[in-house]
Amino acid sequence: MERVFSALRTIRNTIFSPKYSLEKRITYAMVFCAMVGEIIGFVESYMIGLPTIAVLLPLISSLLLLALSIWGFKTKKTKLFATISISLTAMILFPLMFFANAGLHGGMPFYFLVAVVCTALALRGKTRIILFILILLEYSGLFVLYQILPQAFIPMSHYDAFIDQLCSMLIASLVLFAFSFIVSKQNYHDRHKIEQLSLLYERQANTDELTGLYNRRYFNNFLKLAILTLGDTGKLHIAMFDIDDFKYVNDKYGHPFGDTVLKRFADILNECITDGVTACRYGGEEFLLLIPKKNKEEALKLVQNVLKQTRQKIILAENRFVTVSAGFMTCTEDMTYDVLLQEVDKKLYTAKNSGKNCVIS
């Protein structure tokens, strides 16, 4: 008995564990729901006093599915396991139950729908199509046989047939709902995980690993778009920063400290990111700030505040502090992306040659 419970726990964990493939989870969800349905069907058949064969077939079916699931889990042959389980249940056991439960007079036709849905969701490729066609042909043949030769089916009283139909409808609905619900949850879980990974990869592709700011690739694309929509926003300014004497900082205090300076400066820029302002690390010790919707005086004041915050917050030893130089440009509608970057770079170059620690506009 402990092995049975252990197998059930394994199936449950397989159904809901993301470490298994979606195909495997769907297959075991199908088997689990089918086993539960068969056990309920066994109890229902026993309670209403159906013939012994009609009582035993659902029990035999559930035990076979359990044995197959254990085999499938151990061998890891998920596709073969799904094909055998559906073929055995839908094409052998269900037709036998159809004979034992009074054919169309009983409730087995409801279970035929379960077989079709499981075939559609749990199988793939040509196997799914072939098995679906075979199931339709077999079930159609059974319906025709009942119409032609009803005495070949074990009879059932009208009252027992009504109870069997009612219970079969409820059981089949429960199995289909549970199976569809689990498949839907698994699909949602996988889609959500893919979306999270996509967002993560997109962020990694567009973000500088050291500072957390946008990288050059993202900023270039964003700037091109901003220039194209300049007519809608009306105002657009760009500032290019370069940390002064950064080579000296690296040589004097070491590259780890140089990385700390870069991160601290990025934090200062982040504090300025309001009202659509976008910051990026353009490369090395160069940073860019894109400032929309502000007039030139407000934008310049923002840039000058960055220089002031840098002097106050990034302190070196020996009473020295880090400074930055900046070039500043206001974009006009006739400017292209290349021209704007060239012009702001010239302004930065002028700032570096004018004593540093200043903004040239």
Sheet holding 278-283, edge to edge: 278-283, 286-292, 236-243, 324-330, 359-360
Bridge partners, residue 281, by sequence: 287
User: How many angstroms separate the Cα of 271 from the Cα of each of 119, 252, 279, 306, 354?
Assistant: 57, 28, 10, 9, 27
Give the number of residues written for the chain.
361
Considering 38, 44, 138, 285, which one is annotated as catalytic? 285
Query: What 3-state DSSP class applies to 244?
Result: coil
DSSP code of residue 214: B
As a whole number of angstroms, the distance between CA 360 and CA 347 comes to 6
Strand pairing category for 236-243 and 286-292: antiparallel
Helix axis angle, 78-88 to 125-148, nearest 10°: 10
CA-to-CA distance for 217 and 292, rounded, in angstroms? 19
Q: Are strands 324-330 and 236-243 parallel, antiparallel or unpaired?
A: antiparallel
Q: How far is CA 163 from CA 53, 76, 95, 156, 288, in A?
A: 18, 40, 20, 11, 76
Q: How far apart are CA 309 and CA 288, in angstroms?
A: 16
The DSSP symbol for 90 reads: I
Check if 285 is active-site. Answer: yes
What does the alpha-carbon distance between residue 348 and residue 342 come to, in Å, rounded to a whole number?
Answer: 10
Residues classed as catalytic: 285
